[in-house]
Amino acid sequence: MRIAIIGAGALGSLFGGVLTRGGHDVWLYNPSNKKHIHAIQKNGLRIQTGDGDFEVKPNATTRLAEIPLPIEVMGIFVKAYDTERAISDALPLISTETWTLSLQNGIGPEVVLAQHVLNGRLLRGVTAQGATLIEAGIVRWGGRGPTQLGLFGTKSGQLDDSLENLCATLSSADWKTHFTPEIEKDLWVKLLVNAAINPLTALFNVPNGQLIADKELNAILHGIIREALPVTRTHGVQLSLEEAISHVEGVCRGTAQNLSSMLQDVRRGKRTEIEYINGVVAREAKALDAQTPLNSLLTRLVMRSPY
Ligand code: KPL
């Protein structure tokens, strides 16, 4: 299978690296991190795991025109705020057979993608995999978790043979993937995870596992979830508060060593995805007349952090 990764940062490179190891023809594309792409071209991609490292040699480029066609899977891994630019540039890679697959954080990228991807093959997914970009050419697999994929748009909820095959192909390459008939609901469950983990780890400069170990941070984590839950309920999430906390804490444990994507952004002085995560919670809560002081405060604090 030929796979193009648009926006090969931490998670995109990990996804591409794992699929390269699984025998697929992977093209990593990232025009804004030339150092990372050049390091992969020169020395390959090193993936650190808890049980030893492995090295793979995916194709890597900063020029879209170098990626050969046809592309079977085009993974969109850019930051949520970069989706419009990325999909506009990458449109020439899409044929009638191409799956466009987004595992991006936040709520919103799927709406932008749906305006461009018109072949009925837009897949939105959520993942609990943890990835940290250690330095150019080196990614740490900071925790494993399942990925859920569903069709977004008019055919939402449907599973056909080709989608079932895709999930099986990704799983057999060690990227455990399940079809979900309820992708919108799953996006909001993932939003709970990111709303609780990302800003706290970014502001306190701690790995995900510390949100369990540190009692004060853990209490704030619970507060964020408590506030966000009524918003997620309007999108079909039916978890009780206890279930929601247990789910988020499960991700903290599963990715205990991982640095959240927001912490990695803040450390690099980059713009974060806070407006697409806690910002969405605060905005939607307003429409419900619900109070979300923690989510609003965290949004403002993270937006104030210099980048
Ligand atoms: O999605 C993530 C992120 O860092 O953005 C989690 C799952 C929380 C892993 O760190």
Residue 108 is which amino acid? Answer: G
| Same domain, residue pair 140 and 199 | no
3-state SS, residue 106: coil
| Same domain, residue pair 18 and 156 | yes
pLDDT digits 0-9 by tens, 160-175:
888 999 999 999 999 9
Tally of residues, the chain: 307
Contact criterion met (CB below 8 Å) for 130 and 208 = yes
The total of structural domains in the chain comes to 2
Between strands 99-102 and 122-127, the pairing is parallel
Whether residue 73 has pLDDT greater than 60: yes
Give the tokens for residue 85: 């630019």
Cα of 248 from ligand 1 centre, angstroms: 11
Cα of 256 from ligand 1 centre, angstroms: 10
Atom 9 of ligand 1, residue of closest alpha carbon:
130
Ranges of beta strands (E only) in 43-115 are: 45-49, 52-56, 59-61, 73-76, 99-102
| Same domain, residue pair 210 and 67 | no
Q: In whole angstroms, give the CA distance from residue 57 to residue 23.
A: 11
| Same domain, residue pair 9 and 158 | yes
306 to each of 200, 267, 301, 302, 303, how far by Cα in Å? 16, 10, 10, 9, 8
Residues of the chain above pLDDT 90, percent: 93
3-state SS, residue 85: helix
| Same domain, residue pair 225 and 151 | no
Instruction: Identify the CA nearest to 30 among candidates 75, 97, 95.
Output: 75
Atom of ligand 1 nearest to the CA of 261: 4
pLDDT at 305: 78
Atom of ligand 1 nearest to the CA of 128: 7
| Same domain, residue pair 87 and 220 | no
pLDDT at 306: 66
Atom 2 of ligand 1, residue of closest alpha carbon:
260
Q: In whole angstroms, give the CA distance from residue 299 to residue 274.
A: 6
Atom of ligand 1 nearest to the CA of 143: 9
Query: To test ligand 1's pocket by mutation, which of 14, 77, 193, 205 has the most ligand atoms within 8 angstroms of CB?
Result: 193
Catalytically annotated residues: 190
Last residue of a domain, one of 155, 181, 207: 181
Cα of 261 from ligand 1 centre, angstroms: 6
Last residue of a domain, one of 121, 149, 181: 181
| Same domain, residue pair 235 and 176 | no
Instruction: Please give the average per-residue pLDDT across 67-85, as a whole number.
Output: 98
Atom 10 of ligand 1, residue of closest alpha carbon:
260
The confidence band for 153, taking pLDDT boundaries of 50, 70 and 90, is confident
What is the pTM assigned to this prediction? Answer: 0.94
Give the tokens for residue 80: 């949520």
pLDDT at 117: 96
Instruction: Please give the average per-residue pLDDT across 54-69, as a whole number.
Output: 98
**Rounded mean pLDDT of the chain?**
96
| Same domain, residue pair 272 and 152 | no
Q: In whole angstroms, give the CA distance from residue 51 to residue 186.
A: 30
Atom 5 of ligand 1, residue of closest alpha carbon:
261
Other beta carbons within 10 angstroms of residue 279's beta carbon come to 22
| Same domain, residue pair 83 and 216 | no
Residues of the chain above pLDDT 70, percent: 99
Last residue of a domain, one of 181, 202, 222: 181
CATH number for the domain that contains residue 79: 3.40.50.720
Whether residue 285 has pLDDT greater than 90: yes
Provide the residue range defining the domain that includes 249: 184-303
Residue with tokens 């492995």: 54
Cα of 197 from ligand 1 centre, angstroms: 7
Whether residue 307 has pLDDT greater than 60: no
pLDDT digits 0-9 by tens, 220-253:
999 999 999 999 999 999 999 999 999 999 999 9
The confidence band for 88, taking pLDDT boundaries of 50, 70 and 90, is very high
Query: To test ligand 1's pocket by mutation, which of 140, 224, 260, 266 has the most ligand atoms within 8 angstroms of CB?
Result: 260
Cα of 34 from ligand 1 centre, angstroms: 24
Instruction: Please give the average per-residue pLDDT across 268-297, as a whole number.
Output: 96
Q: Which residues contact 219 (CB under 8 A, 6 or more apart)?
A: none
| Same domain, residue pair 100 and 203 | no
Atom of ligand 1 nearest to the CA of 264: 4
| Same domain, residue pair 76 and 155 | yes
| Same domain, residue pair 34 and 141 | yes
pLDDT digits 0-9 by tens, 181-208:
999 999 999 999 999 999 999 999 999 9
Angle at 83 between CA 43 and CA 80, to 5 degrees: 85
Write out residues with Cβ below 6 Å of ligand 1.
105, 128, 130, 193-194, 197-198, 208, 251, 255, 258, 260-261
Ranges of beta strands (E only) in 136-216 are: 138-143, 147-151, 177-179
CATH number for the domain that contains residue 208: 1.10.1040.10
Q: In whole angstroms, give the CA distance from residue 260 to residue 263.
A: 5
